[in-house]
Amino acid sequence: MSLKKQAVNSIKWTTISASINSIIQIIQLFILARLLGPEDFGLMAIVMVVIGFSQIFIDMGISNAIIYKQEIKNDQLSSLFWLNIFIGILFLGLLMLLSPIISRFYENYKLILLINIVAITFLVKPLGQQFMVLLQKNLFFNSIAKTEIISRLISFSVVIGLAYKDYGVFSLAIGAVVFSVFSSIGYVFYGLKIHKPTLYLKISDIKEFVSFGLYQLGEKVLNYFSSQFDVILIGKLLGVEVLGIYNIAKDLVIKPSMVINPIITRVTFPVMSKINTDINKLKSIFLKIINYLTYINSVIYFLIASLAKPIVLILFGQDWIGAVPIIQILSITYLLRSISNPAGSLLLSRGKANIAFYWKLAIFFLYPFFVIIGSLGGVVGVALGMLILQILLFYPNWRFIVFKMIEVEFGDYFTKIITPIAISMISVLISSFIFYSLENIYIKIIAVPLIFSVLFVSIVYKYQRIFILELLNLLKSKFN
């Protein structure tokens, strides 16, 4: 099978997996919003920030090094496998020691047990981590998709069952462990067909991976802290209950980019790594990725922003109405963030993990500043602060990453982005204005997207027909 056909097939499976996983998570959120309170969601947000940060160290940035390097010896893979296992055990112990300190910082004793429960994932996740990366490197996304879907369904069943039995926030913690267990089992099952680790560990054999990985580790740590400063500081400055409302809004808004962007970036990173010396091909692929992502994400995020109130009332109920303005603001923030996201894959495909690190380091100190200043205006102020920062980062992201790697002119880059945004904005403003006075939220949530779709497709067909033809050709090759 050619590289193009492998990539298209991988996109198909990644799309299936991401879509089903997203639907399951939205249904779970819909049910839990009626069973749990804002404090429960706030506590779990804090736990997942701590766990997510720690899990970055388990990987040590080595996963992307494995994908980038085309030739790897079995002994090197075995050494990397056992290194991940030992780091996982180390962080399990470290988290258990730190959980009382974190609990005191947020003044909530429940955090001790919650963190200790979710920390079990550090014994489990390293077992499947390398196998998942090898499946991704070889474009076996069908195996990854099957594993993720089955694991998510099992986790969903456990979470909802425990929530109905009044386990509260602990149902979420146990569900996170269950997902890690079953996903690791699946990755091991499929991954053993590619590589079987041996009892071999020699650090000198993996120095180049560790060197590449350290830059990746630094970049990921900075990126993670930057993306979670709002959660960390809201919990302390404004309280856990306010954090719960903010986090449910953020969780809803972040879902589209978590579904759509990985469909593209998880596949294009290994593909771009294989052609990383051909700048013209890289440029062509990158601009198409940006254009496709902006078209898709701008449609979704402008609709979410315009329909925030009926979405909240239908999914979560009147108790969560405070999340509406946060959703509207964060929708634009995450639209811009989703557009800048592929620049990271571009850097890694060229082996420039060091530039990714320095970029994140340069903007690292901006995030807490905007969050703290924004918090003076409450939780909505924090959301506005994050939006302003994302707007300010747009030009530097092009200048210091995109242009530096593939010499794309700003006019070409900007056109690929502004055109779909402008079309989506016009379509959503007209469709929202038509039904502005409509009181029935159920009719509104159907009518606005319907009129929007007619307007959007009509404008694209008239002024951007090439995009439609390219998309149809892609879909045709996907299913042939």
**For residue 180, which of 116, 115, 128 has the smallest C-alpha distance?**
128
Higher per-residue confidence, 334 vs 21: 334
d(CA 188, CA 128): 5
Q: How confident is the model at residue 4 (pLDDT cuts 50, 70, 90)?
A: low
In percent, the amount of the chain with pLDDT more than 70 equals 84
197 and 257 assigned to the same domain: no
- Give me the number of domains the chain comprises: 2
Residue 227 is assigned to a structural domain of this protein: no
d(CA 115, CA 16): 32
Predicted TM-score (pTM) above 0.85: no
Residue 222 is assigned to a structural domain of this protein: no
Domain ends where: 179, 201, 223? 201
pLDDT tens sequence across 280-292:
777 878 888 888 8
Residue 101 is assigned to a structural domain of this protein: yes
Dihedral sign, CA of 237, 240, 242, 248? positive
The boundaries of the domain holding residue 396 are 242-480
Ramachandran assignment for 166, one of left (phi > 0), alpha (psi -120 to 50 degrees), beta (any other): left
Supply the pLDDT for residue 335: 93
Supply the pLDDT for residue 478: 43
Exposure on the CB side of residue 391, measured as CA atoms within 13 A: 11
Most confident of 165-179, 193-207, 434-448: 165-179
Higher per-residue confidence, 224 vs 211: 224
d(CA 128, CA 179): 12
- Let me know: does 47 contact 110? Beta carbons within 8 Å: no
The overall average pLDDT reported for the chain is 82
Residue 230 is assigned to a structural domain of this protein: no
Residue 219 is assigned to a structural domain of this protein: no
Q: How confident is the model at residue 237 (pLDDT cuts 50, 70, 90)?
A: confident
**For residue 339, which of 418, 253, 412 has the smallest C-alpha distance?**
418
Dihedral sign, CA of 21, 247, 330, 63? negative
Contacts of 168 (CB under 8 A, 6+ apart): 36, 40
465 and 328 assigned to the same domain: yes
- Let me know: does 334 contact 254? Beta carbons within 8 Å: yes
123 and 246 assigned to the same domain: no
d(CA 84, CA 122): 10
Q: How confident is the model at residue 40 (pLDDT cuts 50, 70, 90)?
A: confident
pLDDT tens sequence across 308-366:
999 998 888 888 898 999 999 999 999 998 888 777 777 767 767 677 777 777 777 78
Residue 277 is assigned to a structural domain of this protein: yes
Supply the pLDDT for residue 356: 73
